[in-house]
Chains A and B, each alone.
Chain A
Amino acid sequence: MIRRTLTLIGLAVVILGVLVGIWVVVSLTTDRPISYASIEEHFKYGSIGSEPGGNLLAPVGGALPPYWVFKSLPSICSDKLPNGYATFGFISEPGRDLPIGISRRRRLGLDQVGLNCAVCHTGTVRETPTSAPRIVLGMPANRLDLQAFVQFVTECSLDNRLTAEAIKGRLPKKGGPSLFERVLLDFGFIERLKVTTLNLRNRIGPVLADTVPRWGRGRVDTFNPYKSVQFNWDLNKLPTSELTGASDFPSIWNQKPREGMHLHWDGDNDSVDERNLSASLGAGVTPVTVDHANLKRVRDWIWTLPPPKYPYAVDQELASRGAPLYQQRCATCHADHRFRDGVVSGSRVGQIETLATIGTDPYRLNSYTPAFASNQYSLYPDSPYRFSHFRKTNGYANHPLDGIWLRAPYLHNGSVPSIRDLLEAPELRPKVFYRGYDVYDQVKLGFVSDVAAADGQVFSRYDTAVPGNANSGHVYGTTLSADDKRAIVEYLKTF
């Protein structure tokens, strides 16, 4: 009798053990993004695999803490962020749990969040300060201060107020984390998160610090964080000049006619697909955690995504007067209004102009070094995706101007607020202005840039005297008459 009872108990224990084991293994190995049928929703909220993955004890990839922590950070560190993530220029849609550009995915037994393409390539525009912002997918994230966002997330993750109790106290009664996540919270999960965050901060700290000019809204230093995150270069040992590499987010529509052109501001890559994979690294994917299928959905969509048409009035007569002027002065390098339909006119479109020729700010160019290219060739090793198209260049590339009205401020470093200002000689261009406001200036073709703050948002003061911010060079068209300049500006509205 006793023996039988013991056998039964033993059996029950074994079965329970097996069940727990299965539960743990299934929880840890589940890799399930939230999926969206609509491509626009996928672009805005879908996962490209930038959430941490691999192994729970040594996760790889990712830049953000898990979902429940991420949601709690603004209230835990409310002194640093009284208005939530919107402070950094994130765009939130009504009824949405997360802002555009943040994806959610179950990995390593946790609800994780990650960045996707939309975070840097979605912006807003509006006609007047009182009109509702229009969200434009694929345009540069004109409002986003990515540097300040990453700085906040790392600082708050390391803040002593972030504890397991603080997270638990903020969980909703219903629809909270899974049992597995609750168990993890009790077993050193927060400590592990802090170690991971410290590692990240140790690596990218120097580009977040004030020793390097602020990126400000709408800009990112593409390659320096990459040097430390992917290759563990000690950024403290690089010259400050090399760490000064902020440049504008680009638009990502209409990629098909761009294949084979020199992409990136310095034209360092001529493959759209490799450029996409490289940009994904910046969002936090690694060669082992990237979601190739989901990324390809985005790639196929932006391949033919049309640039948004200028929605305000265009003086057609003036524009048609501007067309021949543009053909004379600009078309050789920048193609014309037909590029939106895939027509590449102009012999130097997508080619590189040497720094001496173009004369714009050199810092972004010099932040990309031969040593860095050499390291990039070992990314995505042992796979058909291995990087092989990157090249060190000696200038900046000529980009087609489709949808140019939404790509303000201008030049690679966003140092000139409007097209009209760009047509002035460098010494006459604005020396100090503000970036991040989405109200449109239809006269100058650019965003309103003389407002320091509005609607609770503080904009980024841009000082062209700061290293990396020079508004020099690209003097094409600056000697035209004021009338001719007006005509070119009008013609560019048709792009």
Chain B
Amino acid sequence: MSRLGWILVVLVLLMGAAGLYVYYHVDRVAPVPQSASAEDHFLYGSIGTEEERGVPYWIWLVLPRIFPEYLPAPGGYAAVGIMAHDGHEMPIGFSKVEIGVPRVGVNCALCHTATVRATPTDPPMVYPGAPAHQTGAQEYLRFLVAAASDARFNADTILNEIARNVQLSLPDQLLYRFVLIPQTRRALLRLGGELSALTGEWGRGRTDLVGLSTLASLHHPAERAAGIADAMPLWHLQTREASGYQWDRSAASLRDVVRASAVVEGASARWMDIDTEMWGRREAKQPSSLRRVMEYLSDLKPPKYPFAVDSTLAAAGAATYAATCAECHEANGSRATSPIPIADIGTDRSRLDAWTAESAAAFNKVGDGHNWKFSSFGKATDGYAAPPLDAVWLNAPYLHNGSVPTLSDLLEPPANRPTHFWRGYDVYDQARVGFVSNGPDAQRLGTMFDATQSGNGNGGHTYGTTLSAEQKRALIEYLKTK
């Protein structure tokens, strides 16, 4: 062979090696070891969101240290309620898996695990499956987008900060410099563009799930009303199949709800295909991750109220509960299985209006051509669910839009309910039953809720508001035992 020929062969081989290196480190999905315990799988396991919506771990780690000014307070991700507990490397709701390089994604626990403290000096207690009243999902996304929009989101700055934590190999440094950092930046800026279509402040513990679903199904930003609502508690899920899921009962199949939540959170279609493939193969080395999550939630029990209960007073409240609340909130109540019409319940209707028959039709098409195609999403209702009140103490703030901070406030006529309070602080208010929603710490660590804003109305659900003060006290005490 001629000299030129040899040079060409060597060049082709070198390029092939470089290409293989990049593929191996950018695209290859390594087997994901699943946590031994179902709870850890729920809290830290992967639901496939790392590949498209995720961020390479080392970049994710250093962003809060480079851009602390884009977080509301000192504390890194913890400043928006995203916290690691009990020695775990990743915060609750965050997964870390190898897709060429370690990448970070989010999972169900981000919006469905609560922390509670008895006093400001107590360590937090963690309640998997409870509404994550402390999570600032929108603040987290906005942080990532703000960082990507800053000129300092560049290879020099990010690699220098990474170098304070780990010694990356030279090929890895080149990979981050020329591929991963620019790629991540582009992806986050694209995400920012998509999210800009979602109007409205979520604040802590709330999500515009309707808006996110619309983004997932329609892909183009549309002018639309926000459908912001609290996350729902996830215990006793199996028993709810009959009455449907979501605040407006618009979803009929638990399996579809779990899969749809993963898709809306950013699970890639490729990952969904594999996970669905594994759904029935329970003996496989890597069974379906979502099935494991679903089964964990189906068995999850509502956590008991961890503070003192006056049992005499609670017993006195049982009768009031039976007379005032049970019809809608007890599983065997006459109005428990179907949504309460909006005309009756009178709560804020934005969430209901946001999800339309067209939204449902579009969303049912998201999985077209895939083995996980949806069919069960509908627009069946004209009202809101009256969910069972198991562990209702953990559902604070109350009503679907989280517009009422405590049970005591909910038993007041709407005109007497607070119009401004702070969400996200996890110290529990045992007197009013809900989280502490005022005071310097709640203000410093939480987000303000303004009930006068569109979608945030705190009217309606006037049941029990005319009870005597003594009856209310007893009823609230009884509700602690639920």
Chain A interface residues toward B at CB < 8 A: 54-55, 58, 60-61, 227, 231-235, 237-239, 286-288, 355, 362, 365-366, 369-375, 377-378, 381-383, 386-394
Query: B86 within 8 Å of A by Cβ?
Result: yes
Contact call B78/A370, Cβ cutoff below 8 A: yes
Asked if B124 and A362 make an inter-chain contact with CB atoms under 8 angstroms apart, the answer reads no
A232-B65, A233-B74, A374-B78 given; A55·B121 CB < 8 A: no
Whether A374 and B163, one on each chain, are in contact in the complex, defined by CB atoms closer than 8 angstroms, is no
Q: Establish whether residues B86 and A391, one from each chain, have CB atoms under 8 Å apart when the complex forms.
A: yes
Enumerate 28 A-B pairs (CB-CB under 8 Å) in ascending A order.
A55-B160, A58-B163, A231-B76, A232-B64, A232-B65, A232-B66, A234-B68, A234-B69, A237-B73, A286-B164, A287-B164, A288-B163, A288-B165, A288-B166, A370-B78, A370-B115, A371-B79, A372-B78, A373-B84, A374-B76, A374-B85, A377-B88, A377-B89, A378-B84, A381-B165, A388-B88, A392-B123, A392-B124
- Of B61, B69, B89, the most chain A CB neighbours within 10 A belong to B89
Closest A residue to B164 by CB, please name it: A60
CA distance A321 to B126 in the complex (A): 49
CB distance from A278 to the nearest CB of B (A): 13
Beta-carbon nearest neighbor of B87 in chain A? A388
On whether the beta carbons of A371 and B166 are closer than 8 Å, the reply is: no
Q: Is the CB of B65 within 8 A of A378?
A: no
Most interface-central of A286, A355, A370, A392 (chain B CB within 10 A): A370
Write out the residue numbers on chain B whose beta carbons fall within 8 Å of the beta carbon of A369. Answer: 75
Contacts of A387 in B (CB 8 A): 87
A369 to B79 Cα, complex, angstroms: 12
Q: Verify B164–A288 contact, CB threshold 8 A.
A: yes
Complex alpha-carbon distance, A388 and B84, angstroms: 10
Scan B118-140; emit 1 where CB is below 8 A from any A CB, else 0: 01111110000000000000000
Closest Cβ of chain B to A492, distance in Å, is 30
- Is B83's beta carbon under 8 Å from chain A? yes
> Is B468 an interface residue when CB atoms closer than 8 A count as contact?
no
Minimum CB–CB distance for B80 against chain A, Å = 10
Give the docked Cα–Cα distance between A160 and B285 (Å): 66
Complex interface: chain B residues within 8 A of A391 (CB): 86-87, 123
Contact between chains at B75 and A233 (CB < 8 Å): yes
Contact partner of B83 among A54, A286, A374, CB < 8 A?
Answer: A374
Give complex CA distance A372, B165 in Å. 17
Query: Is the CB of B167 closer than 8 A to any CB of chain A?
Result: yes
- Is B444 in the interface zone, CB < 8 Å from A? yes
Docked complex Cα distance between A393 and B122 (Å): 7
**20 extra A-B contacts, CB within 8 A, seeds A233-B74, A355-B121:** A55-B163, A231-B76, A235-B74, A237-B74, A287-B164, A288-B164, A362-B121, A366-B121, A370-B123, A371-B75, A371-B78, A374-B76, A374-B77, A374-B78, A377-B87, A381-B61, A382-B102, A388-B89, A392-B123, A394-B121
A227 to B69 CA separation, bound complex (whole angstroms): 15
Closest 7 pairs (CB-CB, A-B): A388-B87, A233-B74, A371-B78, A371-B75, A374-B83, A392-B123, A232-B65
Decide if A390 touches B124 in the complex (CB within 8 Å): no
A394 near B122: Cβ-Cβ < 8 Å: yes
Q: Is B56 an interface residue (CB 8 A)?
A: no
A398 to nearest B CB, angstroms? 18
CA distance in complex: A6, B167 (Å): 44
Residues of B with C-beta under 8 A to A392? 123-124
Query: Closest A-chain residue to B160, C-beta based?
Result: A58
Which range holds the interface residue count of chain B? 35 or more
Q: Is the CB of B76 within 8 A of A377?
A: no
* Separation of A394 and B124 alpha carbons in the complex (Å): 10
Closest to A370 in B: B124
Q: List the B side residues contacting A234 at CB < 8 Å.
A: 68-69, 74
Identify A238's interface contact among B66, B74, B87, B120, CB under 8 A. B74
Chain B residues, CB < 8 A from A377: 84, 87-89
B260 to chain A, nearest CB (A): 30
Contact, CB under 8 Å: A375 / B124: no
Question: How far does the Cβ of A148 sit from chain B's closest Cβ, in whole Å?
Answer: 25
Contacts of B397 in A (CB 8 A): none
Contact of B387 with A by CB under 8 A: no
**Residues of B close to A61: CB separation below 8 A:** 164
Q: How far is the CA of A35 from the CA of B74 in the complex (A)?
A: 40
Q: Which residues of A contact B91 (CB under 8 A)?
A: 374
CB pair A232–B166 under 8 Å, yes or no, is no
Q: Which secondary structure dominates where chain B touches chain A?
A: loop
A369 to B441, CA, bound (A): 13
The CA of A118 and the CA of B204, in the complex, are separated in Å by: 46
Residue of A nearest to B83 (CB): A374
Chain B residues with CB under 8 Å of A288's CB are 163-167
Given A55, A233, A355, A393, which contacts B123 in the complex, CB threshold below 8 Å? A393
Q: Tell whether A389 pairs with B87 under 8 Å between CB atoms, given A231-B64, A233-B74, A371-B78.
A: yes
Measured in the bound complex, the distance between the Cα atoms of B65 and A286 in whole Å is 15
Take A232-B65, A233-B75, A375-B78 as given contacts and tell me if A365 and B167 are in contact as well, using a CB distance cutoff of 8 Å.
no
A394: chain B residues within 8 A (beta carbon): 119, 121-123
Residues of B close to A382: CB separation below 8 A:
102, 166
B69: A residues at CB distance < 8 A:
234
Q: Which of A227, A286, A377 has the most CB of B within 10 A?
A: A377
- B-chain residues with CB within 8 Å of residue A227 when the two chains form the complex: 74
How far apart are A205's CB and chain B's nearest CB, in angstroms? 14
- CB pair A386–B89 under 8 Å, yes or no, is yes
User: Contact: B76 with A54, CB < 8 Å?
Assistant: no
B167 nearest in chain A by CB position: A288
Nearest-Cβ distance from residue A481 to partner chain B, whole angstroms: 35
Distance in angstroms from A418 CB to nearest chain B CB is: 29
Q: Is the Cβ of B68 less than 8 Å from the Cβ of A378?
A: no
Q: Which one of A55, A61, A287, A374 has the highest number of Cβ atoms from chain B below 10 Å of its Cβ?
A: A374
Given contacts A377-B88, A391-B86, contact A371 B76 (CB under 8 A): yes
Bound state CA distance, A237 and B71, in angstroms?
A: 11
| Residues from chain A with Cβ under 8 Å of B164 in the complex | 54, 60-61, 286-288
> Measured between alpha carbons, how far is A54 from B173 in the docked complex, in Å?
14
Distance in Å from the Cβ of B209 to the closest Cβ of chain A? Answer: 26
- Compute how far the CA of A366 lies from the CA of B64 in the bound complex, rounded to whole angstroms: 23
- Measured CB to CB, the closest approach of chain A to B70, in angstroms, equals 12
- Give per-residue flags for B438-455: 1 if the beta carbon is below 8 A from chain A beta carbons, else 0: 001000100000000000
| Among A382, A389, A391, residue most surrounded by chain B Cβ atoms (within 10 Å) | A382
Chain B contacts for A372, CB-based, 8 A: 75, 78
Which residues of chain A have C-beta atoms less than 8 A from B166's C-beta? 287-288, 381-383
How distant is A386 from chain B, measured CB to nearest CB, in Å?
A: 6
- Whether B89 and A381, one on each chain, are in contact in the complex, defined by CB atoms closer than 8 angstroms, is yes
Least Cβ distance of A473 to chain B in Å? 14
CA gap between A362 and B73 in the complex, in Å: 23
Interchain CA distance A58-B158 in the complex, whole Å: 12
Contact of B84 among A237, A374, A389 (CB under 8 A): A374
Which residues of chain B have C-beta atoms less than 8 A from A235's C-beta? 74
Q: Within 8 Å CB of A386, what residues of B? A: 89
User: Are A370 and B68 also in contact (CB < 8 A) when A231-B76, A381-B165 are?
Assistant: no
Note all chain A residues with C-beta closer than 8 A to B84. Answer: 373-374, 377-378
Name the contact of A390 in the complex, choosing from B87, B119, B122, B167 (C-beta under 8 A): B87
**Shortest beta-carbon distance from B430 to chain A in Å:** 16
What chain A residues lie within 8 Å of B120 (beta carbons)?
Answer: 366
Instruction: Give B295-341 interface residues, CB cut-off 8 Å to A.
Output: none
| Bound: A123/B102 CA distance, A | 46
Report yes or no: B163 in contact with A54, Cβ–Cβ below 8 A. Answer: yes
CA A366 to CA B61, docked complex, whole Å: 25
Complex Cα distance, B167 from A386, in Å, reads 15
CB of B126 to closest CB in A, whole Å: 11
Chain B proximity of A397: nearest CB distance (Å):
14
Return chain A residues, CB-CB under 8 Å to B86: 391
A286 partner residues in chain B, CB cutoff 8 A = 164-165
Contacts of A232 on B, CB cut-off 8 Å? 64-66, 68
Structural contact, B123 and A375, CB atoms closer than 8 A: no
A487 to chain B, nearest CB (A): 36
Give the residues in chain A near B66, CB-CB below 8 Å: 232
Question: Does A378 lie within 8 Å of B74, measured CB to CB?
Answer: no
